[in-house]
Structure 1
């Protein structure tokens, strides 16, 4: 586990010998990046740092996590990024894509990487599937041009198998929290360590074969805004909780759906139907998913943590609270929080 935590905490700048592609949002099909022989690196922000540079181009009404990512891109904090893929998973990601594209055109001296938008829609219709297939075909052509590698059916199939294996391992490692054999901070490290997928899988298997200490604390399940860093988890666990699960796209949602068949068509449907996230799924779907996941992890409290300028999660909360009430699990909404911070007085009331 220590090696995964180390790779998670020092994930930037990235030191890699091959082609490195930065990724923003959970809708980037990292399998295709791997198939092209490149390393996909999902970009995270850094709480508590000045985001004035990001605000210059995106304004102050954007999720501060997105502002932090743009600020870090402008400062070159991610080390060498050969290219950048941005998915349209939320409004913040889309605005970041347009800002980077225009800054490359207007201020080439900034040295921002060439970028491409991955536009995945999530409606359950065959017309949506056809649209997403077209976008993935475009992405295959872009990756072949960027890397000089032909994305054959065999390369794509091998990459899908590796990433599905990692999702299975993620599920097993994350489930260790059910028995309090892993903390939420450790689980985030297992999900977010920046490594080639085969090496990542090897280290995850080592975690499963280990005999870690059992932790004590109130079992907390997190919903609401996503967490690209462990700061909020550390605060909750430092106050006597143990984060046993979450339903955001830097944690358990990454492993919620496998590709299955090692084909491009199956990959398309995996991303089309992946979720449910607060920004895209119905309120009913979110409530049902949160309740099932919290019950599965034996949660004693569900915390809906919502960052400033993240407007979607509060709409889910009343239905989530009602669904959880039927299982005897209390829920609390902690709204308008600063990036990386949480008001613990609002969490552990009574």
Structure 2
């Protein structure tokens, strides 16, 4: 099916597979960036955090990055920096980094310093740090609106400006896309790939492809599985989970549908407020809102599986309390610990064996 092929291609090739469409490209590193505003300003917002799948085989390796990047650097950051130094984003107008994304903040700091020291070319994209407070107090909202103005000024410096009419049209397209995502009935790895492919497709293209997919694969058994943890941009663990039941809640970044709900969003201010008050963001405040939102979305799951990456400094703190609350409900909680950035066949086999022996 053509739609399936296009979704799989977009997911695999990612930023490298986006063809020029007469619009400047703006890279997005991390969730929580108001990307509809980028679209409404006349640019194409493209995720640059997740490298192409082929990057692990033939991605660029730049000597200066190996020299300056510490061994403990987040893998998303490291691969971005190699690609950045190799010129993969030289044709972009801007890259926006989410400050509250651990990998995004480090990528911004390293890329900016590499430029300052003239270790890489300074002819590439403008680098912009998006700093959002994830709470709904009046003071935080004022701060967030100033950040919105700062983003608007940065885009205006590239002759990119949004107005409410264009934004209204883009938001309507996002409502259509959200509805198509909600209608998607396939599960597991297919669901993950088809959802995430939208990070590299225009909203109307993504919606059309999702609607063309149809019902997809059937639910694999009655056991309902929830997946939580740090960002993972590969379908590996989803494939394994599907062997033991239906992936009913994929709450890892890249796995969940979108970073905000479209209900009630009709202008730039309400868009920023919706993103800031999303309770499923790891940096949300007060902190207990995140744990409560996780439990709410995991309601009805028989098994909850958790993973973190080797650089985790956030989600791991949630695990003990989450485990306690999940088991109180009578569900099973399985902590897989560290998940590799690009899981090997041996890790996949060991995880499959562990789940087969552990899931009740």
Decide: shared fold, TM above 0.5.
yes
1:130 correspondence with 2:132: no
Q: Structure 1 residues 158, 307: closer, same or farther in 2, change over 3 A?
A: same
Matched, 1:246 2:250: yes
Quote the offset at 1:130 in angstroms: 0.3
Listed one character per residue, the Cα deviations across residues 235-263 of structure 1 (whole Å, up to 9, x for unaligned) are 444x5454332112323251552262311
Counterpart secondary structure, 1:10:
helix
Aligned residue runs from structure 1 range 81-100, under 5 A: 81-100=92-111
Q: Which residue is equivalent to 2:269? A: 265
SS of 1:40's equivalent? strand
1:185 and 1:269 map into 2 onto residues whose CA distance is: 31
Task: Tell me the TM-score normalized by structure 2.
Answer: 0.83
Please give the alpha-carbon distance, in whole angstroms, between the structure 2 residues aligned to 1:271 and 1:285: 14
Question: How far is the alpha carbon of 1:305 from its aligned partner?
Answer: 0.9
In structure 2, the residue corresponding to 1:116 is in which secondary structure?
strand
Picking from 10, 14, 32, the partner of 2:13 is 10
Q: Report the CA distance shift for 1:347/1:77 in structure 2 as closer, same or farther (over 3 A).
A: farther
When normalised by structure 1's length, the TM-score is 0.86
8 Å Cα contact 1:227-1:248 kept in structure 2: yes
1:318 corresponds in structure 2 to 320
Deviation at 1:309, TM superposition (A): 1.0
Number of residue pairs the alignment of both structures matches = 338
Q: Do the aligned partners of residues 23 and 128 (structure 1) sit closer, same or farther apart at CA in structure 2, a change above 3 Å counting? A: same
Counterpart among 200, 204, 216 of residue 210 in structure 2:
204
Aligned to 2:236: 231
The Cα shift of 1:40 comes to 0.6
Structure 1 residues 52, 10: CA separation in 2 closer, same or farther (over 3 Å shift)? Answer: closer
Deviations 1:205-233 (A, max 9, x none): 333xx232314255432101112232332
Unpaired runs of 5+ in structure 1?
none
Q: CA RMSD in A?
A: 2.7
Q: Give how far 1:348 is off.
A: 3.8
Aligned partners of 1:165 and 1:63: how far apart in 2? 34
Task: Tell me how far apart the structure 2 counterparts of residues 36 and 259 of structure 1 sit (CA, whole Å).
Answer: 22
Q: Does residue 142 of the first structure (1) align with residue 154 of the second (2)?
A: yes
SS where residue 332 of structure 1 aligns?
A: strand
The 8 Å contact of residues 101 and 114 in structure 1, kept in 2 or not, is answered as: no
Whole-Å separation in 2 of the counterparts to 1:105 and 1:225: 31
* Counterpart contact for 2:37–2:268, Cα < 8 Å: no
Is the CA contact (8 Å cut-off) linking 1:51 and 1:67 kept in structure 2? no
- 1:72 matched to 2:77: no
Deviation, 1:275, is 3.6
Q: Deviation of residue 119 (structure 1)?
A: 0.7
Contact 2:260 2:275 in 1 (8 A): no
CA gap of 1:306–1:347, structure 2 versus 1, over 3 A, is: farther
The reply to whether residue 192 of structure 1 matches residue 197 of structure 2 is yes
- The Cα of 1:133 is off from its aligned counterpart by 0.2
Deviations 1:9-33 (A, max 9, x none): 2224122222111110112110111
Structure 2 CA distance, aligned partners of 1:327 and 1:79?
51
Would the aligned equivalents of 1:104 and 1:112 in 2 still touch at CA under 8 Å? Answer: no
CA–CA distance in structure 1, aligned partners of residues 126 and 136 of structure 2? 32
The reply on whether 1:330 has 2:332 as its aligned counterpart is yes
Aligned position for 1:63: 74
CA distance in 2, matches of 1:303, 1:51: 33
- For the pair 1:349 / 2:349, whether they are aligned, the reply is no
Gapped runs of 5+ residues in structure 2? none
Q: Residue 228 of structure 1 aligns to a residue in which SS?
A: coil
After TM superposition, the runs of 4+ consecutive aligned structure 1 residues lying more than 6 A away are none
Cα 1:280–1:163 shift into 2, 3 Å:
same
Would the aligned equivalents of 2:60 and 2:86 in 1 still touch at CA under 8 Å?
A: no
